[in-house]
Amino acid sequence: MFYLKRLQEHQKIFQRSKFWLGIFIVVLLCIILISIPPTLSQQPVVLNLLMTAPDAQPWKQFLIKDFEEKNPGIRINLIEGPNATNLLEDLYTSAFILGDSPYDLINMDVIWTPKFAAAGWLLDLSDRMTQQELAAFSPKDVEGGRVGGKLYRIPMRSDVGVLYSRKDLLKQAGFQPPETFSDLLKISLALQQQRKVNWGYVWQGRQYEGLAAMFVEVLEGFGGFWVNPNTLEVGLDRPETLQAIAFLKETVAKGISPPGVTTYIEEDTRRFFQSGQAAFLRSWPYVWPLANAADSPIKGKIAIQPMVSNALKTGGSCLGGWGLGIAKSTKHPEEAWKAIQYFTSEQAQRQFILSAGYVPSRRSLFTDPEIVAKFPYYPKLLEIEDKAILRPPIAQYDQASDILQRYLSAALTNRIAPESAMKAAAAETRMLLKTRGSRE
Ligand code: GLC
């Protein structure tokens, strides 16, 4: 009886001390948690961003490190994708369609916004920037990010098609820079005949988005058009389109362009030109710093100019460019906006342009003394940019581009006669625009 009583007393004491021990542990844990600095207790927010591998290099060298230093609670996870813009678009699109997109920031080519916005994949950024803040950017770049009056993409960098030439060879042979398509052919052939260079002209001829970008310039130079975004009229079966195709075919038929040109994307053409094998190259401004790098065989030997055009028509360069949007599915819209503000800021763009030679989206940088000292042709680039032509800003752009790419590639590689190819391309495009409704 006595033992039983003692045992019950012990149990009571044990339970009381267990209670106090529990309280003690809880209090201790609270003290530990409160005393840990917030930076250690909180995981940084990670923003996922996908871009083409060549584009990613200058981001990795400076931009991301600087942003993360200034914003210790945010990390940018940069994923490198394929080189061709349409393949990158496919990756973003399939991620959105599967419904669980891992991307927070969307690095968008200027041609993607109408489709991405119409599909409801992007956050509306209209209230995030004032009209005055937006006025610092090139108007065409801002327009490229607007759909149905709302803003979905802030321009990060612009882009315009340009013509590069070997100014050393032109000078030796006594030629002025070409102004027309026939000048381009004539000078190329002459330089090839004088054995100054193996090939005359390289351009992007593979069946991909770059083919469409290159083609709108030739089309414009012959006075033609692809799709009028206001009326949805299709110009692919007009005589100007056939003249544009005839010019490109002539470059191959006369041995001015290498036969492989119909399989080349930007980087293939840059390597070809940079190795000294061609007199002219159509590409984007990113080529300049690479072709002028210390180990480049053509360093200091090149000039840059607007795309040539048929003497009687106005020529034009294609407007390209990339900007940032925010995925509607992101859990971190505020952090994503902070990142956009930084990446599109004047200071970040200046560094980015100085290291990569890209085209600014902020107008003041085209004439910024530090930038002009390194890239003297930038003020000229602003003039080219202001006259640049947009690929049709319609929600069905990727399908319209796919139709053009398929038939144009077939015509250029002699699989279908140009006239039949363009008749079919025009008919399919008209059908697409009719069945999918009007402009977004
Ligand atoms: C460049 C341009 C982009 C274009 C692409 C075509 O990246 O900036 O707008 O679509 O080239 O290859």
Measure Cα distances from 283 to 148, 210, 273 in Å. Answer: 31, 9, 10
User: For 79-84, what is the mean pLDDT?
Assistant: 93
User: For 194-222, what is the mean pLDDT?
Assistant: 97
Same domain, 275 and 234: yes
Same domain, 299 and 359: no
Contact 385 CB / ligand 1 (< 6 Å): no
Same domain, 301 and 418: yes
User: For 329-345, what is the mean pLDDT?
Assistant: 97
pLDDT of residue 440: 43
Q: What is the mean pLDDT of the chain?
A: 91
Contact 104 CB / ligand 1 (< 6 Å): no
Q: Which of 364, 382, 400 represents a domain boundary (last residue)?
A: 382
Nearest residue by C-alpha to atom 12 in ligand 1: 210
Nearest residue by C-alpha to atom 5 in ligand 1: 210
Distance (Å, whole) CA 140 – CA 151: 13
pLDDT of residue 176: 97
Nearest residue by C-alpha to atom 9 in ligand 1: 320
Same domain, 314 and 325: no
Cβ neighbours of residue 296 closer than 8 Å, sequence gap 6 or more: 274, 290
Cβ neighbours of residue 21 closer than 8 Å, sequence gap 6 or more: none
The Å distance, Cα 161 to ligand 1 centre, comes to: 9
Question: Mind listing the pLDDT tens digit for each residue in 142-173?
Answer: 999 999 999 999 999 999 999 999 999 999 99
pLDDT of 375 over the 70 cut: yes
52 CA closest ligand 1 atom index: 7
Residue of 51, 209, 384 with the most ligand 1 atoms within 8 Å of its CB, for mutation = 209
Per the structure, the complete domain to which residue 166 belongs is given by 162-318+392-433
The Å distance, Cα 90 to ligand 1 centre, comes to: 15
Q: Which of 345, 361, 382 represents a domain boundary (last residue)?
A: 382
Q: How confident is the model at residue 16 (pLDDT cuts 50, 70, 90)?
A: low
Same domain, 173 and 285: yes
Identify whether 3 is part of a domain: no
Identify whether 12 is part of a domain: no
Tokens for 116, please give them. 């991405």
Identify whether 440 is part of a domain: no
Same domain, 48 and 62: yes
Pick the closest to residue 357 from 285, 251, 281, 301 (CA basis): 285
Q: How confident is the model at residue 404 (pLDDT cuts 50, 70, 90)?
A: very high
pLDDT of residue 438: 45
User: For 301-305, what is the mean pLDDT?
Assistant: 96
pTM: 0.87
pLDDT of residue 406: 98
Q: How confident is the model at residue 30 (pLDDT cuts 50, 70, 90)?
A: very low
Identify whether 9 is part of a domain: no
Contact 405 CB / ligand 1 (< 6 Å): no
Same domain, 149 and 209: no
Identify whether 79 is part of a domain: yes
pLDDT of 305 over the 50 cut: yes
Same domain, 93 and 217: no
Identify whether 34 is part of a domain: no
User: Which residue do the tokens 């010019």 mark?
Assistant: 247
Question: Mind listing the pLDDT tens digit for each residue in 203-214?
Answer: 999 999 999 999
**CATH code of the domain containing 353:** 3.40.190.10
Question: Mind listing the pLDDT tens digit for each residue in 262-285?
Answer: 999 999 999 999 999 999 999 999
pLDDT of residue 6: 56
**Range scoring the smallest mean pLDDT among 35-44, 362-371, 397-406:** 35-44
Distance (Å, whole) CA 326 – CA 174: 52
Residue of 57, 83, 85, 203 with the most ligand 1 atoms within 8 Å of its CB, for mutation = 85
Count of structural domains within the chain: 2
109 CA closest ligand 1 atom index: 9
pLDDT of 289 over the 50 cut: yes
Same domain, 97 and 59: yes
User: For 234-250, what is the mean pLDDT?
Assistant: 98
Contact in structure between 429 and 411 (CB atoms under 8 Å): no
Nearest residue by C-alpha to atom 6 in ligand 1: 210
Same domain, 126 and 259: no
pLDDT of 312 over the 70 cut: no
Same domain, 62 and 110: yes
Contact 284 CB / ligand 1 (< 6 Å): yes
Ranked by mean pLDDT, the top range of 54-58, 82-86, 402-406 is: 402-406
Nearest residue by C-alpha to atom 4 in ligand 1: 320
pLDDT of residue 8: 61
Distance (Å, whole) CA 292 – CA 25: 67
Is pLDDT larger for residue 228 or for residue 58?
228
212 CA closest ligand 1 atom index: 6
Identify whether 2 is part of a domain: no
Same domain, 307 and 213: yes
Identify whether 27 is part of a domain: no
Tokens for 339, please give them. 């990142």
